[in-house]
C-alpha cells in the first residue's frame, strides 16, 4: 500500500534553480523515496495535473507564471561503490545525489572516468538527460545503465547505455522519450587508477604535456571553470546562470566553407582569422557559439534590463538582480535573431523551458 506523502501548495520555483527566476508551482513534492515518486504520479492522475520532474534546477528556465501542475523534485539519495574486477569499479548512485560530490568521491577513491566533469552543478539524475559534457569528456563514456520509472506504464526499467541514445547534449531523455522516464539511479563504470583524460586544449596547455594525477585534473578543471564563472558561487554574480545557454551549432563542412568565404568577402573575417570550429566527423563541424554571439555584437558583461551576459563567459545568460523569466527570454531572442541575421545560423537553447 502506498503511503500518503505531503504535497505542498504554491511553492516558489526560482530559489530551486541556479538562474533564480520564475513563478510558483501549484503543487510540489520533494520525493525522497521511489514510493513518494509513485505517490506523486498517482496524485497527479487523480487530480488531472501535468507533472514536471525537477533535479538540481541548473538547466531550467521557469516561466514567470510558474507551473500549473505538480513539480516532483527528485531527492533520492544513496551511493554504492563496489569493486567489479581488478580494473573496474561499479558505482550505483541515486538520482538526487549532487553530481559534483560524486565526482569528488570518485577522485578520492582514485577512480577515473568523470574527472573532467568536475564542477558541473545539478543532480546525478540530470546527467544522462543531456549527456553532460565538458573539457573533452561526456558522462555517456562511463554510464553503464540507467534505472528509470516509465511514466506511461508505472514500471521500473533498466536502460543500457546503448538504449539511452547518447550524442552531443542529447539522449532519448531529452529527444524521442522526452518526459517518458524519471531517472531513479545511474550505474557508472569507473577505471581503477586510470590516467586522466587530457584532450581539451585548455587542459593540455595547463599541464604543458605532463600527465597529471586525477586530483590535479579536478583542481585544474575547477580553477578553469571558476575563472569563467562556471561553478556556482554565491559570491560570484556571474555564476547566476543555467550554464551555457546555447549549444554549439553543428553545421556541414560545406556550410562552414561557404561561411568562411562570405565572411572574408565582406571583411568580417580578417586574413589571419578562422571561424572557431571543431570537426566532429567527415562531413560536420561544431562552431563555437560563444564566438558567433560575440561577433554578432554581444560582448561579455552585456546587459539588457535585469538580464545579461556573464562578464566571464559569453555563452552564459545571467540574472543580474531581480530578472523575470521574460527578460531572460527577451535577451535570448535578441541574441538568436542577431546571430541568425549575421551568420544564417539558428542557435538552439540548452536549458529546458518550464511553464511557457
DSSP string computed for 160-224? ETGGGT-BTTB-GGGTTTTTTEEEEEEEEEEEETPPP---SHHHHHHHTT----HHHHHHHHHHH
Give the one residue of 120, 287, 317, 329 binding ligand FAD; rule: CB under 6 A.
120
Q: How far apart (Å, rounded) are the C-alpha atoms in residues 64 and 240? A: 17
Q: Which is nearer to ligand FAD, 181 or 343 (CB)?
A: 181
Phi-psi region of 194 (alpha: psi -120 to 50; beta: other; left: phi over 0): beta
Spatial separation of the C-alpha atoms in residues 92 and 355, rounded to whole Å: 32
Cell numbers describing residue 176: 524521442
The distance of closest approach from Cβ of residue 252 to ligand FAD in the complex, given in angstroms and rounded to an integer, is 24
DSSP assignment, residue 297? T
Helix axes 99-108, 214-227, angle to 10 degrees: 150
Q: Which of 30, 118, 171, 244 is catalytic?
A: 244
The reply to whether 36 sits near ligand FAD by the rule CB under 6 A is no
Q: Please state, in angstroms and rounded to a whole number, the distance separating the CA atoms of residues 214 and 207.
A: 12
Site string for ligand FAD, 149-188 (x = CB under 6 A): ---------------------------------xx-----
Biggest alpha carbon–alpha carbon distance for the chain: 72
Binding residue (CB under 6 A) for ligand FAD from 62, 70, 95, 339: 95
Nearest-CB residue for ligand FAD: 126
Least distance to ligand FAD, CB of residue 237, Å: 12
Query: Is 350 known to be catalytic?
Result: yes
Residue 123 annotated as catalytic:
no
* Per-residue buried b or exposed e for 9-33, using 16+ beta carbons within 10 Å of the residue's own CB: eebebbebbbbbbbbbbbbbbbbbe
**Site size toward ligand FAD, by CB under 6 A:** 32
Look at the chain and count its residues.
356
Report whether 351 contacts 245 (CB < 8 A).
yes
Indicate whether 56 belongs to the interface with ligand FAD (CB under 6 A).
yes
107 vs 352 by CB, closer to ligand FAD: 352
Name the minimum Å distance from CB 260 to ligand FAD.
28
Please identify which of the residues 109, 151, 169, 295 carries the catalytic annotation. 169
Q: Is 242 in the site for ligand FAD (CB under 6 A)?
A: yes
Tell me how far CA of residue 308 lies from CA of 18, 156, 186, 245, 304, in angstroms.
Answer: 15, 42, 35, 12, 6
List 63, 238, 241, 310, residue binding ligand FAD (CB under 6 A): 241
Q: Which stretch binds ligand FAD (CB under 6 A): 122-130, 267-275, 289-297, 333-341?
A: 122-130
Gap between the Cα atoms of 146 and 139, Å rounded: 12
Measured from the CB atom, is 332 or 343 closer to ligand FAD?
332
**Measured from the CB atom, is 29 or 120 closer to ligand FAD?**
120
Q: Quick check: is 169 catalytic? A: yes
Cβ proximity of 96 and 78 under 8 Å: no
| Single residue of 7, 30, 43, 59 touching ligand FAD by CB under 6 A | 59
Closest to ligand FAD by CB, 14 vs 243, is 243
Residues with catalytic annotation? 169, 244, 350
Residues lying near ligand FAD in the complex (CB under 6 A) are found at 18, 53-60, 74, 95, 120-123, 125-127, 129-130, 132-134, 182-183, 230, 232, 239, 241-243, 352
Amino acid at each position: 500500500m502506498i503511503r500518503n506523502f505531503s504535497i505542498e501548495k504554491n511553492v516558489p520555483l526560482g530559489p530551486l534553480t541556479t538562474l533564480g527566476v520564475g513563478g510558483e508551482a501549484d503543487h510540489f513534492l520533494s520525493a525522497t523515496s521511489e514510493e513518494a515518486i509513485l505517490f506523486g504520479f498517482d496524485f497527479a492522475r487523480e487530480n488531472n495535473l501535468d507533472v514536471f520532474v525537477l533535479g538540481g534546477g541548473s538547466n531550467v528556465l521557469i516561466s514567470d507564471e510558474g507551473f500549473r501542475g505538480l513539480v516532483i523534485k527528485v531527492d533520492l539519495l544513496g551511493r554504492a561503490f563496489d569493486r567489479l574486477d581488478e580494473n573496474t569499479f561499479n558505482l550505483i548512485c541515486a538520482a538526487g545525489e549532487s553530481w559534483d560530490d560524486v565526482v569528488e568521491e570518485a577522485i578520492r577513491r582514485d577512480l577515473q572516468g568523470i574527472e573532467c566533469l568536475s564542477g558541473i552543478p545539478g543532480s546525478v539524475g540530470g546527467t544522462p538527460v543531456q549527456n553532460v559534457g565538458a573539457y573533452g569528456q561526456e558522462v555517456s563514456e562511463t554510464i553503464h545503465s540507467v534505472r528509470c520509472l516509465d511514466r506511461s506504464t508505472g514500471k521500473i526499467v533498466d536502460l543500457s547505455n546503448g538504449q539511452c541514445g547518447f550524442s552531443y547534449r542529447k539522449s532519448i531523455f531529452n529527444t524521442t522519450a522526452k518526459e517518458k522516464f524519471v531517472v531513479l539511479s545511474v550505474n557508472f563504470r569507473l577505471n581503477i587508477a586510470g590516467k586522466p583524460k587530457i584532450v581539451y586544449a585548455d587542459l593540455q596547455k595547463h599541464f604543458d604535456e605532463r600527465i597529471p594525477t586525477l586530483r590535479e585534473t579536478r583542481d585544474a578543471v575547477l580553477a578553469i571553470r571558476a575563472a569563467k564563472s562556471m561553478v556556482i558561487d554565491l559570491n560570484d554574480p556571474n555564476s547566476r546562470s543555467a550554464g551555457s545557454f546555447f549549444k554549439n551549432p553543428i553545421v556541414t563542412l560545406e556550410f562552414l566553407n561557404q561561411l568562411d568565404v562570405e565572411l572574408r568577402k565582406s571583411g568580417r573575417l580578417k586574413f589571419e582569422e578562422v571561424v572557431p570550429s571543431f570537426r566532429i566527423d567527415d562531413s560536420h563541424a561544431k562552431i563555437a557559439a560563444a564566438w558567433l554571439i560575440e561577433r554578432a555584437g554581444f560582448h561579455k558583461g552585456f546587459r539588457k534590463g535585469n538580464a545579461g551576459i556573464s562578464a566571464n563567459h559569453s555563452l552564459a545568460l545571467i540574472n543580474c538582480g531581480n530578472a523575470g523569466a521574460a527578460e531572460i527570454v527577451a535577451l535570448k531572442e535578441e541574441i538568436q535573431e542577431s546571430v541568425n541575421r549575421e551568420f544564417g545560423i539558428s542557435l538552439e537553447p540548452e536549458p529546458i523551458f518550464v511553464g511557457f
